[in-house]
Amino acid sequence: MGILKVTKTTRSTLAERESPDAGGRERLIAAALKLAAEKRSLLALGVRELGRMAGLNPNTFYRHFKSLDELSVAIIDEFAQDLAPALRSIRVGDPRADTLSQRTVEYVFDYAHQHPEAFIVGVRELHGSSKRLQLELRTRIRLVAAEMAEDMLAMNVVPGLTKDMLEEIGEPIVEQVFHRTLDYLQEPKRRAELVRRTARFIDALMTGAVTLKAMNRWD
């Protein structure tokens, strides 16, 4: 399987963020991801703990972030802003409907492989105790679904569906792919299978939606 490799323009890996040459902001983000990936919420971290992990004076934290809330949202923003244009370029750059789902899944899974801590933390926070972080993550899922709907409508790869319909099925698609990244990370021997199954889930949902519309069973 020829996975679409993450390009060099994507976010720095954890190792690169932890480098002594990295700036304070990058090192704090690396520390937060590393600590939170060890079964802890981002908002449960302490400023002193972050500073110690990052090799910085704890007061350095406030030069870059006003609060743990701001740090957490910044992490979500960075990765969401990185992924969205890459996914759009896959759809618009090579809009073949028969391979679009697989190419998209391959890219997201490979991106998760390059940034595992971000996905481990992100999936956990989506169902965590922080309503603020849940809202931030769900807002970005809806934005990705809206962009996907807009592109697919323009490409006419799912004839008969409206933008509202595409957004409605787009949200569970984005969330499913997001959750499946953890399986991809944790089960290396099943990676090819997980790509196929996840792409097939997307295709089945899209085909089912087109069928329901054609049968006048979707108002």
Give percent of the chain with pLDDT exceeding 70: 94
Packing angle of the helix pair 116-126, 163-186 (nearest 10 deg):
120
Report field, pTM of the whole predicted structure over 0.95:
no
Question: With 60 as the cut, is the pLDDT of residue 138 above it?
Answer: yes
pLDDT score of 71 more than 70: yes
Q: Where are the domains of the chain?
A: 69-214
Over 50: is that where the pLDDT of 183 sits? yes
DSSP 6: P
Q: Which residues does 194 contact at the CB level (< 8 Å), separation at least 6?
A: 109, 180, 183, 184, 187
Tell me how far apart the alpha carbons of residues 183 and 86 are, in angstroms, rounded to a whole number: 22
44 within 8 A of 105, measured Cβ to Cβ: no
As a whole number, mean pLDDT of residues 181-185 equals 97
User: Which long-range CB contacts under 8 A does 146-155 form with residues at least 24 apart?
Assistant: 146/170, 147/84, 147/87, 147/88, 148/87, 148/91, 148/173, 148/174, 151/88, 151/91, 151/92, 152/91, 155/91, 155/92, 155/95, 155/97
Q: What average pLDDT does this structure show over 111-139?
A: 93
Q: What CATH code would you report for 69-214? A: 1.10.357.10
